[in-house]
Amino acid sequence: MSRAEDKKVIRLISEDGLRVDGRRPDELRPIKLEVGVLEKADGSAYVEYGRTKIMAAVFGPREIHPRHLAISEKAVIRCRYHMAPFSTEQRKSPAPSRREIELSKVIREALEPAVFTEYYPRTSIDIFIEVLQSDGGTRCAGITAASLALADAGIPMKDLVASVAVGKVDGVVVADLCDVEDKYGEADMPVALMPKFGEITLLQMDGNLSQSEFEQALQLAVESCQTIYGKQREALLNRFVQVEV
């Protein structure tokens, strides 16, 4: 059976308007954010979007090696996105795939606008993102986790970056796609946002959306990122602020 035929057979939205995991179209998966989870890293974070589980670590700013990569005006941000061999249903090769190399670049470019790289010339800021378990939305959860890890490392930032994937499933615009919705839905649109400024740092799309559907999906993505942003701030407060009873 082809992928196109699968899409016709599999129902992803019930007659009651609920998705395969029981969520409403605009509802996010349960989200867990934790900061400062690794002692050896300068900054770290752990993020769960439903069954997707991500660990992020940041090292730096530090002297860059090899030195010829240094930029005299700013720090160089380097990012490595990697899926653990046990993160998917079928064992994945530990070697970096073309997709992982591409997503490393995508995530780096989504985070760069938020970091004051000019404060640390001729240095590197290294971000490592490890996908421990994949159930859709790993690039977006990775961006959210890496943003928290950068803040945990004390690196000056214009704002945190929150990210979520929206899309279209059975003709309905939905938020925070899980793996089966990503595979069999009609469209997938990852978005990253600096909520304080309303600045989009990532916008990709795979599939087809009409202009009205695109506008609806983008508005849903912004609202979802605002919700995630609130949870990011709460996680940082839990890490750094002690409330006196």
pLDDT computed for residue 70 by the predictor: 92
Kindly state whether residue 181 falls inside one of the protein's structural domains.
yes
Kindly state whether residue 8 falls inside one of the protein's structural domains.
no
Kindly state whether residue 12 falls inside one of the protein's structural domains.
no
CATH of the domain at 106: 3.30.230.70
- Here the tokens at position 133 are 């378990």
Walk along the chain (245 residues) and give the pLDDT tens digit of each residue. 434 444 445 789 998 989 999 999 999 999 999 999 999 999 999 999 999 999 999 999 999 998 999 999 999 999 999 999 989 888 888 888 899 999 999 999 999 999 999 999 999 999 999 999 999 999 999 999 999 999 999 999 999 999 999 999 999 999 999 999 999 999 999 999 999 999 999 999 999 999 999 999 999 999 999 999 999 999 999 988 753 44
pLDDT computed for residue 10 by the predictor: 74
Residue 139 CA from chain centroid, whole number = 4
pLDDT computed for residue 241 by the predictor: 78
Q: How many other CB atoms are there within 10 angstroms of residue 198's CB atom?
A: 11
Kindly state whether residue 9 falls inside one of the protein's structural domains.
no
pLDDT computed for residue 5 by the predictor: 44
Kindly state whether residue 224 falls inside one of the protein's structural domains.
yes
Encode 162-188: b = buried (16+ Cβ within 10 Å), e = exposed: bbbbbbbbbebbbbbbbbbbbebbbbb
pLDDT computed for residue 242 by the predictor: 53
pLDDT computed for residue 9 by the predictor: 58
Number of domains the chain contains? 1
Element (H, E) at 217: helix 211-240
Question: Could you tell me whether strands 162-169 and 172-175 are parallel, antiparallel, or unpaired per DSSP bridges?
Answer: antiparallel
Domain that holds residue 82: 25-240
Kindly state whether residue 3 falls inside one of the protein's structural domains.
no
Kindly state whether residue 6 falls inside one of the protein's structural domains.
no
Kindly state whether residue 16 falls inside one of the protein's structural domains.
no
